[in-house]
Amino acid sequence: MRVVIQRVSEAAVTIAGTVRGRIGRGLLVLVGVEEADTEADLEWLCGKIPRVRVFDDAQGVMNLSVQDVGGEVLVVSQFTLLASTRKGHRPSYCRAAKPDAARPLYERFVARLGQHLGRPVQTGEFGAMMAVSLVNDGPVTLVMDSKLRE
């Protein structure tokens, strides 16, 4: 699995003009599921994301996690995170899991992340055309890949 994590002061996902998920201060997590992903990939990410220290402490040092600051999390599925641009000019998505394999893993990711966080997370809708709006705070953006463990 590959995720892009953005520290936000607010974020929302809208589907067909209706807001599906909205958060204030917290993390926007874009998630791409790869064909080779397993429960171990999901667990590694769900253990890391709530504890990654990207929020400032009293001294202005990024030393606090989303859990520490009582922040919220919005998770949005995004298969394009697994694009390969190695050949030509049109990205290839052959590493991305097919929807019947990706959807259950994505749904377990959302549930498990909520368990690690200690509260439910907001989401978009798997496979839907979504408009994501955000105010990136910092900006702070991280990429994590469960296969590379970074």
Are 7 and 27 within 8 A, CB to CB? yes
User: Per the omega criterion (within 30 degrees of 0), is the bond before 50 cis?
Assistant: no
Output the CA torsion 59→64→66→71 (10° steps).
-30
Catalytic residues, by residue number, are 78-80
Q: How far is CA 99 from CA 78, 106, 107, 126, 128, in A?
A: 11, 10, 12, 9, 11
